[in-house]
Each structure stands twice: as structure tokens, then as C-alpha cells.
């Protein structure tokens, strides 16, 4: 593919991403992979170049652009060297017309940017939300703590964390295939460390997803005790079993829950858990470095729906904690309504519960909890709070 053809290809994929975002369908990564699956003529360099253009354009636009071409022209405004590639060649984009629409820049749609600023995210914080993320791994102590790894890994704030450059192909390493390491952002690792799950305890990962935090908890518990991983998403939870086998995590019980029936399906765990990790569904604003188009999928109605769900998850989790046990509420968001405001509401409704602010080796206090951000801590954006059940 010529450089101009790569630009046109990125425009075509952007159109698909914009359309999918409006209906909350497939993410950009999956769309670009599927697009190339039917275009065998594109080599590996072409795929990398198109992907790079695609995500640069997504990061350059604040509100949802009208078209992929408008999004690419936003990128041209920031990088004029691309203008010459709009040359009208056979597979390239048409020349730029006077007055042609250009997508707006910014960090997010205006309403969302206002919410972020109100949550203490200044201009530097907002800009860093859209940087490229490094690749962090956690050394799996169930497989030993000294695997053979490339020497360019940098220690992170996490006890067993290492950081590598963006795009590192960790899945090609023997250490990954053997379960000696797991890909996990430093913020996620720190949350699991703060929970301090101990061997012999009874612990629930309430919104386990594919099980990244579950595996970290199993390692901390040294495969001793009970560890229940729950989720309402069958596809995501089904990925836990092969990951657990590779990691040597043998004490995990997975339980698929039906939406609206969670409490009844967890009746045997009521008032029983030493610790519950409630990694609640959220806007994902703290992970835009990895999924920058996610901010196009969010509107005020969706955020309101998410916050209602978080309130439900918090109350569901509270019923599972034994007297004197601990509830860790976590969201990968930097919006106050999803973090400190949710905790404040819970404490107002449950005054016998006691907040104990977790102190991590990175981040800062926010409300009754703790927040990490890409700008200050070089991690994903996370909020975590620890709530202790009345005895």
C-alpha cells in the first residue's frame, strides 16, 4: 500500500468505528482486525501504519466526528505533513476542499469534559488520559518470582510489576505461555495488593470479568482458602478457566450470575466473605489510553445507567461481607460520580460501615478513597475505597 492508500484505509476503518460507537458495538481494535482479515494484500507494515493512523485520529478528536474523513482531517490539522497524502491518487483520499468539515479536537465531548474538570482533572490530566499506555506485567508468584524475561523491563510501584514499551508482544514469550507472568496494569495490581487477601480466607471477586484480578488474588492467597469469581457476562467469565490453568491457580470457583438474580444465586455466601472485591462496571474513563474511542460510546443517559448499576453492585457486595470484613469498591474511572460520590452515598445509607482509606505507593486521596491517574502515577485511572462491615 502507498502512504496515501494507508490514509484512505484508515478513513474507511474510522467510518466503521464511528458507526459502531454510536450503537455501542465492537471496539476499534476488533474492527480494524476484521477489516484486514478480508484484505490479504496488506502486509504487516501496512497493518501497523493504518492502525497507528486510526488511533492517532481517534485521540485527536474530542466529540464523535461526523465521518472518518473529518476525523482524519482533524489529525491533518495537528500534523500538516499528512496533507500531501490527500492527493486524489487511485487508492488515496480525494484532495482537501476549501471549507471541508473538520472534526473538533479536545479530550472528550463537551458535557463529559466538564464532568472531568469538576472531578479535578486539569488540562494536563485530560491530555494524558489519551496517551499511549505502556504494557505492564505481574510476575506470577504461583510459578515462582524469577522468570526469564527481557532485561528492558522497568520496576513499577507494584510489588511484582514490570513495565515494557507499548506494543510489546508479550504473548510470544515463554514466560507468558508458561503462566509465569500475567498482563495487568500497575493500578490493577496495586488494588489487589491493597485488598491484602491472605491464605485461608474466603474472598469474592464480584465482577470478575476475564479474571485478571482474580488471578492476582489467587496468587496472594497461595492457592489456599476459597476464592469465588462471579460475573453476569458468560463470554468474559469463560476466559478465566484457561487463564487459571496456565497460571496454576487451582482454588478458583467461577459462578455465572443471572442479572437481577444475583442475590439469590449468592445466598450461600451471604455474610460469609472475609473480603469482597467489587470492581464495578463503569465508564472506563481511566482506560482511554487503551480504548480512546470509548469516550464516544458514553452519553449522559448511559452514565446515569452505569451509576445506578454501581449502587446496586455496592449494596449486593455489602450483603456478602462477614461482620468485620472488608469491601473494596473499585472503578477504572476518574469521574467523581462513579467513585467518591458512590462511596459517600453508600455511607450515608449505611452509617454503621466504616471507611478505611487505602494508602497505596502511588496516587492521592479522593473523598473516602484513593485515586490513581495516568498523569500523576503513570497508571490507568482508578478509584478504590475500603469499607469495613460493622461487627
- The per-residue DSSP string of 307-349 comes to HHHHHHHHHHHHTTEEEEEEEEEEES---GGGTHHHHHHHHHH
Q: How many domains does the chain have?
A: 3
270 located within any domain: yes
Distance set, CA 196 to CA 201, 221, 243, 266, 391 (Å): 10, 9, 22, 23, 19
Distance from C-alpha of 39 to C-alpha of 60, rounded to nearest angstrom: 26
Distance from C-alpha of 187 to C-alpha of 360, rounded to nearest angstrom: 10
337 located within any domain: yes
The domain boundary, picked from 118, 150, 182, lies at: 182
Q: Taking Cα atoms as reference points, which of 33, 17, 14, 29 lies closest to residue 73?
A: 14
228 and 203 share one domain: yes
Distance from C-alpha of 252 to C-alpha of 254, rounded to nearest angstrom: 6
46 is in an annotated binding site: no
Tell me the pLDDT of the chain (391 aa) as tens digits.
899 999 999 999 999 999 999 888 888 999 999 988 888 777 889 889 999 999 999 999 999 999 999 999 999 998 999 999 999 998 899 999 999 999 999 999 999 999 999 999 999 999 999 999 999 999 999 998 788 898 889 999 999 999 999 989 999 999 999 999 999 999 999 999 999 999 999 999 999 999 999 999 999 999 999 999 999 999 999 999 999 999 999 999 999 999 999 999 999 999 999 999 999 999 999 999 999 999 999 999 999 999 999 999 999 999 999 999 999 999 999 999 999 999 999 999 999 999 999 989 999 999 999 999 999 999 999 999 999 999 9
93 and 211 share one domain: no
Distance from C-alpha of 166 to C-alpha of 174, rounded to nearest angstrom: 19
The CATH number linked to 311 is: 3.40.50.150
The whole-model pTM stands at 0.93
Q: Where are the alpha helices (DSSP H) in the chain?
A: 3-22, 28-37, 44-60, 68-78, 110-118, 123-128, 174-177, 186-195, 212-220, 234-238, 240-247, 262-265, 300-318, 340-349, 374-377
323 and 228 share one domain: yes
Distance from C-alpha of 15 to C-alpha of 66, rounded to nearest angstrom: 9
29 and 77 share one domain: yes
Q: What is the dihedral of CA 287, 291, 296, 302, to 10 degrees?
A: -50
175 located within any domain: yes
State the pairing for strand pair 252-256/161-164.
Answer: unpaired
156 located within any domain: yes
Distance from C-alpha of 286 to C-alpha of 290, rounded to nearest angstrom: 9
Q: Residue 278: beta bridge partners?
A: 329
165 and 293 share one domain: no
The domain boundary, picked from 149, 182, 215, lies at: 182
205 is in an annotated binding site: no
For residue 378, the enclosing domain spans 186-388
The string of DSSP codes covering 206-245 is: TT-TT-HHHHHHHHHTTT-SEEEEEES-HHHHHTHHHHHH
Catalytic residues, by residue number, are 332
365 located within any domain: yes
Dig out the grid coordinates for 116 from the structure: 472531568
176 and 196 share one domain: no
126 located within any domain: no
201 and 177 share one domain: no
117 located within any domain: no
363 located within any domain: yes
383 and 272 share one domain: yes
The CATH number linked to 176 is: 3.30.70
Question: Are residues 218 and 203 in contact, defined by beta-carbon separation less than 8 angstroms?
Answer: no
Q: Taking Cα atoms as reference points, which of 370, 362, 364 lies closest to residue 158?
A: 362
235 and 341 share one domain: yes
32 and 149 share one domain: no
353 and 217 share one domain: yes
Dig out the grid coordinates for 217 from the structure: 488474588
Angle at 180 between CA 177 and CA 183, to 5 degrees: 80
205 and 70 share one domain: no
Amino acid at each position: 500500500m502507498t502512504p496515501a492508500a494507508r490514509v484512505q484505509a484508515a478513513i474507511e476503518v474510522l467510518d466503521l468505528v464511528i458507526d459502531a460507537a454510536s450503537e455501542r458495538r465492537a471496539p476499534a481494535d476488533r474492527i480494524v482486525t476484521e477489516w484486514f482479515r478480508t484484505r490479504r494484500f496488506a502486509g504487516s507494515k501496512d497493518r501497523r501504519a493504518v492502525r497507528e493512523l486510526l488511533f492517532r485520529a481517534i485521540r485527536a478528536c474530542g466529540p464523535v466526528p461526523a465521518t472518518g474523513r473529518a476525523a482524519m482531517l482533524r489529525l491533518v490539522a495537528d500534523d500538516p505533513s499528512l496533507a500531501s497524502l490527500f492527493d486524489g491518487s487511485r487508492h488515496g483520499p480525494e484532495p482537501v476542499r476549501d471549507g471541508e468539515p473538520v472534526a473538533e479536537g479536545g479530550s472528550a465531548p463537551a458535557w463529559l469534559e466538564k464532568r472531568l474538570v469538576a472531578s479535578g482533572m486539569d488540562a494536563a490530566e485530560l491530555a494524558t488520559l489519551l496517551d499511549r499506555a505502556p504494557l505492564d506485567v505481574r510476575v506470577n508468584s504461583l510459578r515462582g518470582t524469577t522468570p526469564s524475561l527481557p532485561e528492558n523491563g522497568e520496576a513499577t510501584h507494584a510489588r511484582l510489576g514490570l513495565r515494557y514499551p507499548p506494543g510489546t508482544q508479550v504473548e510470544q514469550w515463554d514466560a507468558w505461555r508458561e503462566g509465569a507472568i500475567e498482563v495487568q496494569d500497575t493500578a490493577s495490581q496495586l488494588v489487589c495488593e491493597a485488598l491484602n487477601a491472605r491464605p485461608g480466607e474466603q474472598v469474592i471477586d464480584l465482577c470478575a470479568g476475564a479474571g485478571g484480578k482474580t488471578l492476582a488474588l489467587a496468587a496472594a492467597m497461595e492457592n489456599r482458602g476459597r476464592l469465588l469469581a462471579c460475573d453476569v457476562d458468560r463470554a468474559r467469565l469463560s476466559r478465566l478457566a484457561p487463564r487459571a490453568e496456565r497460571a496454576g491457580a487451582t482454588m478458583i470457583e467461577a459462578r455465572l450470575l443471572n442479572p437481577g438474580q444475583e442475590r439469590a444465586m449468592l445466598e450461600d455466601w451471604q455474610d460469609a466473605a472475609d473480603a469482597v472485591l467489587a470492581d464495578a462496571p463503569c465508564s472506563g474513563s481511566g482506560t482511554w489510553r487503551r480504548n480512546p474511542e470509548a469516550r464516544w460510546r458514553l452519553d449522559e443517559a448511559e452514565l446515569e445507567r452505569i451509576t445506578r448499576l454501581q449502587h446496586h453492585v455496592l449494596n449486593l457486595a455489602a450483603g456478602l461481607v462477614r461482620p468485620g470484613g472488608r469491601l473494596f469498591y473499585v472503578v477504572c474511572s476518574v469521574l467523581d460520580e462513579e467513585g467518591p460520590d458512590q462511596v459517600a452515598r453508600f455511607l450515608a445509607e449505611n452509617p454503621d460501615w466504616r471507611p478505611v482509606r487505602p494508602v497505596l505507593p502511588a496516587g492521592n486521596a479522593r473523598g473516602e478513597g484513593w485515586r490513581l491517574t495516568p498523569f500523576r502515577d503513570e497508571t490507568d485511572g482508578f478509584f478504590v475505597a475500603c469499607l469495613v462491615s460493622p461487627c
